[in-house]
Structure 1
Amino acid sequence: MNTIFIIILLLAMLMVVVSLVRGVVAFLKSTKIDLESGEQVDATEMQLAQNRAMMARVKWQAVAIVVIAIMLAVAN
């Protein structure tokens, strides 16, 4: 039973890292675009991608926390 939870936890942790990297890359691209254009009025597509990636990171962190909580509850 714990093996399944550990596998799910590792997958959730991997997804946290993937989402974080995608968000940082989108942030760097949007910053570069803003600096080159000099004009920023509304959110660009890159900024929206950054927002989606960061929300995904929060979701996967929540999944990891829930898995750890279940593992602790089962262990006791």
Structure 2
Amino acid sequence: MSMTLTGSLVPVAVGAVAVVLLLGLANMLRGGSAGTSQKLMRLRVILQFVAILVILFVMWWRSA
């Protein structure tokens, strides 16, 4: 895996978390359904876990 690919994985993972967070905030501010808020919160937590794994992988890859 090249350095540019590993370097672009982190912004994509963090960006995905940010998008879901903003969708959740927008849903809350406009008074959307609680079920949608729960789904977005669960998705955000999963994406945060994936983002942490990606960051750890990139750190490991660059140190090798």
Q: Tell me if both proteins adopt one fold, taking TM over 0.5 as the criterion.
A: yes
Residue 6 of structure 2 corresponds to residue 23 of structure 1: no
- Which of 57, 62, 70 lines up with 2:49 in the alignment? 62
The structural deviation recorded for 1:71 is: 1.7
Q: TM-score, normalised by structure 2?
A: 0.77
- Which of 31, 37, 55 lines up with 1:50 in the alignment? 37
Deviation digits for residues 12-69 of structure 1 (CA, Å, limit 9, x no counterpart): 1111111001111122233xxxxxxxxxxxxxx7111111111111111111111111
CA distance in 1 between partners of 2:40 and 2:48 (Å): 12
CA distance in 2 between partners of 1:24 and 1:11 (Å): 20
Deviating runs (4+, > 2 A) in structure 1? Answer: none
Gaps of 5+ in 2: none
The answer (yes or no) to whether the contact 2:13–2:54 under 8 Å persists in 1 is: no
CA distance in 1 between partners of 2:15 and 2:59 (Å): 21
CA distance in 2 between partners of 1:2 and 1:61 (Å): 22
Residue 27 of structure 2 corresponds to residue 7 of structure 1: no
The alignment covers a number of residue pairs equal to: 62
